[in-house]
């Protein structure tokens, strides 16, 4: 009699019959990653994804103790930092990982941009990615307020003030985001709902589209390499690329643990709506370049309000970012072109310079 496979070996076929796992695994087994001089950048998307997952896990853990009201939010974070076992670790990892995630997200976006990975047929991948960028910035902005400390309170006030400057819809946006006219307990509750429910839901959707598209179309290869005609070396995703990914993820985990232990995230003082703003209020670093730009724009340019012009500029910039695949005609035709890349370099330098200025300028 044929020996029966062990119980554990019978488990996989049982699942496969019901979930169709083997089809998925077949696809996975054949997934290839192109290898060329620029393929080092391919790791960045996965890094960002890893950090996002860290945020989800640590965020859910924090949810077990956090209280989203003006009376209790600060104290609950203080409680997490001091009384909850390893609370300090979870909270500091969450804060550090948020910043690292946004950093890697920007690097990932710029690398895809310069490699023109947005050209046909990957336009939807790009658009979902741009959407993910805005969602993550919204995650950062909404999450920053949640500890309800002084810095965050005023940063939120300034940020929503700027929202209010947008013509026509500005007033509505300001009231809707603040849950009232002023930044208050209602704002906190609202930001909390946005941060833990609305944004995760939308991000899950955008992320699914983004990842499915990446699986469907594979990694894009720079135009020059594609047109050179030479055969492009390929590396199997499983296990080779995946293992390399894993090294990156492991080392990033180590970095997070190190940062959380040596540079624990500060809590500061509880927000006091009646107190005056402390000197040197600024938004988080990833908003700094735009904040600094708005500071430099003169009050009036011609007859238009300067700040309004600045906001319009950024709005247009965001729109341009989403529409890059359609604006870069040469890339659409798979032709090499220097213009779009050059614009990207200028934008990158501008963002870096103004971020640095935001830190060092008075």
> Which listed residue (55, 76, 160, 290) binds other proteins by CB under 8 A?
76
> Which listed residue (24, 246, 320, 361) binds other proteins by CB under 8 A?
246
Start-to-end C-alpha separation, the chain: 84
Position 87 contacts other proteins (CB under 8 A): yes
Kindly state the helix (H) or strand (E) to which residue 300 belongs, with its residue range: strand 300-301
Position 314 contacts other proteins (CB under 8 A): no
Using the minimum distance from each CB to other proteins, give the nearer residue, 76 or 156: 76
Task: State the residue for tokens 């009050």.
Answer: 299
Question: Which one of 149-157, 158-166, 191-199, 258-266 is the stretch in contact with other proteins (CB under 8 A)?
Answer: 258-266
DSSP 149: B
Position 185 contacts other proteins (CB under 8 A): no
CA–CA distances in Å: residue 150 to residues 38, 186, 241, 323: 44, 16, 45, 38
Using the minimum distance from each CB to other proteins, give the nearer residue, 58 or 187: 58
User: Site size for other proteins, by CB under 8 A?
Assistant: 37
Position 316 contacts other proteins (CB under 8 A): no
Strand pairing category for 300-301 and 32-35: unpaired
Residues facing 236 on adjacent strands:
32
Please state the closest distance from residue 247 (CB atom) to other proteins, in A: 5
- The C-alpha atoms of residue 246 and residue 266 are separated, in whole angstroms, by 30
CA–CA distances in Å: residue 85 to residues 76, 82, 193, 336: 14, 8, 26, 56
Please state the closest distance from residue 72 (CB atom) to other proteins, in A: 6
Question: Which one of 32-40, 145-153, 247-255, 280-288 is the stretch in contact with other proteins (CB under 8 A)?
Answer: 247-255
Using the minimum distance from each CB to other proteins, give the nearer residue, 243 or 279: 243
Q: At what angle do helices 43-63 and 87-114 cross, to 10 degrees?
A: 150
Please state the closest distance from residue 26 (CB atom) to other proteins, in A: 18
Name the 3-class secondary structure at 270: strand
> Which listed residue (28, 64, 301, 320) binds other proteins by CB under 8 A?
64
- The C-alpha atoms of residue 62 and residue 77 are separated, in whole angstroms, by 9
Using the minimum distance from each CB to other proteins, give the nearer residue, 164 or 236: 236
Backbone angles phi, psi at 123, to 5 degrees: -60, -40
User: Which positions touch other proteins (CB under 8 A)?
Assistant: 61, 64-65, 67, 71-72, 75-76, 78-79, 81-90, 92, 236, 239-240, 243-244, 246-247, 250-251, 253-254, 257-258, 261-262, 264
């Amino acid at each position: 009699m044929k020996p029966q496979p062990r119980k554990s070996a019978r488990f996989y076929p049982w699942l496969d019959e019901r979930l169709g796992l083997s089809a998925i695994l077949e696809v996975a087994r054949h997934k290839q990653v192109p290898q060329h001089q620029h393929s080092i950048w391919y790791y960045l998307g996965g890094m960002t994804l890893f950090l996002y997952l860290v945020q989800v896990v640590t965020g859910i853990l924090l949810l077990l103790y956090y209280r989203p009201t003006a009376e209790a939010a600060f104290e609950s974070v203080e409680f997490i930092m001091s009384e909850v076992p390893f609370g300090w670790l979870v909270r500091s990892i969450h804060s550090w990982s948020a910043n690292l995630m946004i950093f890697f997200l920007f690097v990932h976006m710029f690398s895809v941009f310069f490699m023109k990975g947005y050209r046909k047929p990957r336009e939807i991948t790009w658009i979902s990615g741009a959407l993910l960028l805005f969602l993550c910035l919204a995650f950062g902005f909404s999450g920053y307020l949640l500890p309800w400390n002084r810095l965050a309170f005023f940063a939120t006030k300034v940020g929503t003030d700027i929202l209010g400057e947008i013509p026509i819809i500005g007033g509505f946006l300001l009231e809707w985001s603040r849950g009232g006219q002023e930044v208050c307990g209602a704002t906190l509750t609202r930001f909390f709902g946005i941060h833990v429910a609305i944004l995760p839901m939308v991000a899950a959707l955008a992320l699914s589209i983004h990842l499915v598209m990446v699986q469907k179309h594979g990694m894009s290869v720079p135009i020059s390499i594609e047109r050179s005609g030479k055969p492009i070396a390929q590396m199997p995703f499983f296990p080779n690329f995946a293992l390399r990914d894993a090294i990156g993820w492991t080392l990033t985990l180590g970095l997070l643990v190190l940062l959380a232990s040596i540079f624990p995230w500060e809590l500061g003082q509880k927000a006091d709506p009646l107190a005056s703003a402390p000197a040197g209020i600024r938004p988080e670093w990833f908003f700094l370049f735009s904040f600094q730009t708005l500071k430099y724009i003169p009050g009036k340019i011609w007859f238009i309000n300067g700040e309004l012009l600045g906001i319009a500029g950024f709005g247009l910039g965001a729109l341009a970012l989403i529409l890059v695949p359609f604006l870069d005609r040469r890339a659409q035709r798979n032709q090499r072109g220097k213009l779009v890349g050059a614009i990207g370099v200028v934008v990158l330098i501008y963002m870096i310079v103004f971020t640095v200025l935001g830190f060092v300028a008075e």
